[in-house]
Chain A
């Protein structure tokens, strides 16, 4: 049940426990209990809604961060510290020419730039940042923006 439940929630977090119970051949109670369990164990981190922010008053930047690690301390310390800022939407440790990849969101260019300069760049272990402002979103979390839905089939066929 767990794998199927996760797949269904990943596709549509809004689907009701009642529907899930029907689809999985279980009861509403059991489904709710399973979701609680997955939330508590941290396997489900949360449920999010993907908004189409193209053309909205919102600025997003992808920031590449170089970090110097110190003996005995990995990337975790600095990463966890950056992650706590609400302006940070995504934060990944990556391989390659830099170490952390951060997605920062704010209301204006100034707000985002200030945040990066005053909160990220100044951190003790941060060695340098490169900021790319995002121009347009085409796809996020597996969802394509502006994709047309609808059934193109004949209503009855052999």
Chain B
């Protein structure tokens, strides 16, 4: 029997990342610049805290919103790093990664047919999850396009900065423009700031820190990137109490609570890992500078991304190849894997995403291979 599926789900195309993964997975000696997670393991003190938690039998359900101790640490951390104060009682929700948090936020606010403004290119989860929540993503490339795209059905603006896949971030002046639009049109802003700590130029400005914005901002973040924590699956929402309660209403049924061991590890991460985070940040920065320099030497036009660990490179201008052709040929001839830009939207078929979440040694070999590839 063919199982009749959800109609919306059937309209959503398979993930381009997944497709490429299957091609790369078949090969053995690939240097992968296609990985969207840190190459570091979580700091040892965090893992050690997790082991101790397991040993002492912390294997039970936690409060739906997460341990109060963890929520308290999140609030303190956010205030210390980004200067916005939240209540640990009712303005924080801990979930299974920024992924779950984003999902339950859009499901909390959208009615069928509601529109959300979404920047392109952007992280792969935003549009599908909006659609699954019966919403309609409306795509923009620049801030100046937003106002024109707003309709009576527009409910929210989604931001993701520093960005996966481009590594670009918003300057304060740009965020102020978005804030004005949000206020004028009474919109909510869902701000995915999971790469906030991996900012290499200037300081990250959290959207909720702009005047009057805290009341209309849902900050989505998590531990995956900052603390090299991806497999431990932990993220959080910082938002006004009514939205937090609404999201928790879904979370309590669909997830119940986040993993107890991960929550205890996260407490350790927030309390005692500033220097480890800084060490990783400096390492990424050095790699970024290396990659940009090498690409420029090869004749690519590319700007230094301000954050995250990605470069979004137009390969078509220089090679005449589409991103997909480039990625497949590079894999075939040089065994270096980069992700075709089309995975982040059909319009970006001229691009590839290069991740520098890999050692400098690997990057050096990979870029020599890319150079060799270009020469032939």
Which residue in B35, B41, B164 is a CB contact (below 8 Å) of A156? B35
Answer whether residue B145 sits at the interface, using C-beta atoms and an 8 A cutoff. no
Residues from chain B with a CB closer than 8 A to the CB of A153 are 35, 37, 39
Cα(A22)–Cα(B290), bound, Å: 7
Distance between B36 CB and nearest chain A CB, rounded to angstroms: 4
Within 8 A of A (CB), among B328-376: 337, 339, 343, 358, 360, 364
Residues from chain A with a CB closer than 8 A to the CB of B51 are none
Cα(A155)–Cα(B364), bound, Å: 18
Are A155's CB and B35's CB within 8 A?
Answer: yes
Are A25's CB and B289's CB within 8 A?
Answer: yes
Cα(A157)–Cα(B36), bound, Å: 5
Are A158's CB and B15's CB within 8 A?
Answer: yes
Distance between B282 CB and nearest chain A CB, rounded to angstroms: 9
Cα(A155)–Cα(B125), bound, Å: 19
Cα(A154)–Cα(B343), bound, Å: 17
Are B364's CB and A156's CB within 8 A?
Answer: no
Closest to B15 in A: A158
Residues from chain A with a CB closer than 8 A to the CB of B364 are 19, 22-23
A interface footprint on B30-49 (CB within 8 Å = 1, 0 otherwise): 10101111010100000000
Which residue in A22, A23, A25, A157 is a CB contact (below 8 Å) of B17? A157
Residues from chain B with a CB closer than 8 A to the CB of A156 are 17, 20-21, 24-25, 32, 34-35, 337, 339
Are B337's CB and A158's CB within 8 A?
Answer: no
Known contacts: A153-B35, A155-B30, A156-B34. The answer to whether A23 contacts B290 by CB under 8 A is yes
Answer whether residue B123 sits at the interface, using C-beta atoms and an 8 A cutoff. yes
Answer whether residue A29 sits at the interface, using C-beta atoms and an 8 A cutoff. no
Known contacts: A22-B294, A23-B364, A153-B37. The answer to whether A158 contacts B289 by CB under 8 A is no
Are A157's CB and B37's CB within 8 A?
Answer: yes
Which residue in B21, B124, B289 is a CB contact (below 8 Å) of A155? B21
Which of A22, A152, A153, A155 has most B Cβ within 10 Å? A155
Residues from chain B with a CB closer than 8 A to the CB of A155 are 21, 24-25, 30, 32, 34-35, 337
In the complex, the number of residue pairs spanning A and B with C-beta atoms less than 8 Å apart equals 56
Contact residue range for chain A? 10 to 19
Answer whether residue B293 sits at the interface, using C-beta atoms and an 8 A cutoff. yes
Residues from chain A with a CB closer than 8 A to the CB of B41 are 152
Closest to B23 in A: A156
Cα(A23)–Cα(B343), bound, Å: 30
Known contacts: A19-B364, A23-B360, A23-B364. The answer to whether A157 contacts B290 by CB under 8 A is no
Distance between A138 CB and nearest chain B CB, rounded to angstroms: 14
Known contacts: A4-B286, A22-B294, A25-B293. The answer to whether A158 contacts B39 by CB under 8 A is no
Residues from chain B with a CB closer than 8 A to the CB of A4 are 286
Residues from chain A with a CB closer than 8 A to the CB of B124 are 158
Which residue in A19, A152, A157 is a CB contact (below 8 Å) of B21? A157
Residues from chain A with a CB closer than 8 A to the CB of B17 are 156-158
B interface footprint on A137-158 (CB within 8 Å = 1, 0 otherwise): 0000000000000011111111
Residues from chain A with a CB closer than 8 A to the CB of B125 are 158
Distance between B364 CB and nearest chain A CB, rounded to angstroms: 6
Cα(A25)–Cα(B295), bound, Å: 12
Are A154's CB and B39's CB within 8 A?
Answer: no
Residues from chain B with a CB closer than 8 A to the CB of A157 are 17, 21, 34-37
Cα(A155)–Cα(B25), bound, Å: 7
Cα(A141)–Cα(B235), bound, Å: 35
Distance between A84 CB and nearest chain B CB, rounded to angstroms: 37
Residues from chain A with a CB closer than 8 A to the CB of B35 are 153-157
Residues from chain B with a CB closer than 8 A to the CB of A25 are 289-290, 293
Are B21's CB and A154's CB within 8 A?
Answer: yes
A interface residues with partner B (beta carbon < 8 Å): 4, 19, 22-23, 25, 151-158
List the 7 shortest-distance A-B pairs measured between CB atoms, nearest first.
A156-B21, A156-B34, A157-B36, A155-B32, A158-B17, A155-B24, A158-B36
Name 24 A/B residue pairs within 8 A (Cβ), A-sorted.
A19-B360, A19-B364, A22-B293, A22-B294, A23-B286, A23-B360, A25-B290, A151-B32, A151-B358, A153-B35, A153-B39, A154-B25, A155-B21, A155-B24, A155-B337, A156-B20, A156-B21, A156-B32, A156-B337, A157-B17, A157-B35, A158-B15, A158-B123, A158-B124
Q: A22-B294, A155-B337, A158-B125 known; 14 other A-B pairs, CB under 8 Å?
A: A22-B290, A22-B293, A23-B286, A151-B39, A152-B41, A153-B35, A153-B37, A154-B21, A154-B35, A155-B25, A156-B17, A157-B34, A158-B15, A158-B36
